[in-house]
C-alpha cells in the first residue's frame, strides 16, 4: 500500500473549500483544515505510488485557491510498528477531541529507531517515515491542545536525534 501526505497552502479563508474538494479524489483517505505553517493536510493511500503521484499532480495541485503544496511520500513500514499503531487507533477512537500531526526533522540515519520510540508514547497513534522536506510524520491525540503541546515538548522533542518539530493542529470539525 502506497501512502502520502500533502501539506497544502491555500488562499486565506479557503481551507474548508479545499477540504470539501479533496473529498472527490478517490485516493484521499482523510483531509483536515490545520493551524500552523500549512492550511490543509491530506492523507492519500493507493495500491500504487503512481496513482498517488498522478492525483497529487493532476487533481490536488490544480484545485482552485491552492497556492502551494509540500508532498511527503511514506516509506514502507515495518509490520510490527504498523500493528502497534493500528491497535492504538482502535483503542483511542473518539476518546480524544484534540488531534495534531507532528512533522519531524531528525539527524539519525536509522529513523526506524525514532519511529519505534514514538510508538511507545501513548498519545502517538500513527506514524511513518517520509521522503520530502521532513523525515517523519506522526499523529497525536489528546484531550486538549494543551495536552498535545505537552506531548510534543516533553516527549517527542526529547527523543534522541530529533532536531526539530512542526506541530499541525487539526481544526475541530474541519475534516473529511
The full length of the chain comes to: 176
Chain-centre distance for alpha carbon 36: 13
Question: Element (H or E) spanning 9, and its range?
Answer: strand 2-10
> What letters, b where the CB count within 10 A reaches 16 and e where it falls short, cover 96-106?
bebbbbbbbeb
pLDDT 10s digits, 53-62: 999 999 999 9
pLDDT digits over 13-50, tens only?
Answer: 999 999 999 989 999 999 999 998 999 999 999 999 99
How many angstroms separate the CA atoms of 122 and 126, rounded?
10
Domains of the chain, by residue range, sit at 2-74, 79-175
Fold that domain 2-74 belongs to in CATH: Alpha-Beta Plaits (3.30.70)
**How many angstroms separate the CA atoms of 92 and 76, rounded?**
24
Question: What confidence tier does 172 reach under pLDDT thresholds 50, 70, 90?
Answer: confident
**pLDDT tens digit sequence for 62-92:** 999 999 999 999 987 655 566 666 666 665 5
List phi, psi (to 5°) of 18. -65, -45
pLDDT, mean of residues 134-162:
94
Is 168 within 8 Å of 100 (Cβ atoms)? Answer: yes
CATH number of 79-175: 3.30.70.920
> pLDDT tens, 131-140?
988 999 999 9
What is the DSSP secondary-structure string of 19-54?
A: HHHHTT-TTEEEEEEEESS-SEEEEEEES-HHHHHH
Q: Is 138 in contact with 146 (CB distance < 8 Å)? A: no
- Model confidence, pTM: 0.88
Amino acid at each position: 500500500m502506497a501512502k502520502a501526505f500533502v501539506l497544502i497552502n491555500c488562499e486565506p479563508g479557503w481551507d474548508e473549500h479545499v477540504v470539501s474538494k479533496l473529498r472527490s479524489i478517490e485516493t484521499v483517505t482523510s483531509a483536515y483544515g490545520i493551524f500552523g505553517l500549512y492550511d490543509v493536510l491530506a492523507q492519500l493511500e493507493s495500491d500504487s505510488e503512481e496513482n498517488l503521484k498522478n492525483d497529487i499532480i493532476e487533481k490536488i495541485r490544480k484545485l482552485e485557491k491552492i497556492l502551494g503544496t509540500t508532498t511527503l511520500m511514506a516509506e514502507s513500514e515495518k509490520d510490527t510498528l504498523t500493528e502497534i499503531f493500528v491497535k492504538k487507533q482502535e483503542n483511542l477512537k473518539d476518546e480524544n477531541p484534540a488531534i495534531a500531526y507532528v512533522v519531524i526533522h531528525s539527524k539519525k540515519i536509522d529513523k526506524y529507531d525514532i519511529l519505534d520510540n514514538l510508538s511507545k508514547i501513548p498519545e502517538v497513534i500513527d506514524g511513518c517515515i517520509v521522503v520530502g522536506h521532513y523525515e517523519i510524520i506522526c499523529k497525536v491525540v489528546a484531550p486538549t491542545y494543551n495536552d498535545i503541546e505537552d506531548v510534543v515538548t516533553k516527549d517527542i522533542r526529547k527523543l534522541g536525534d530529533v532536531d526539530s518539530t512542526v506541530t499541525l493542529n487539526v481544526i475541530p470539525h474541519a475534516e473529511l
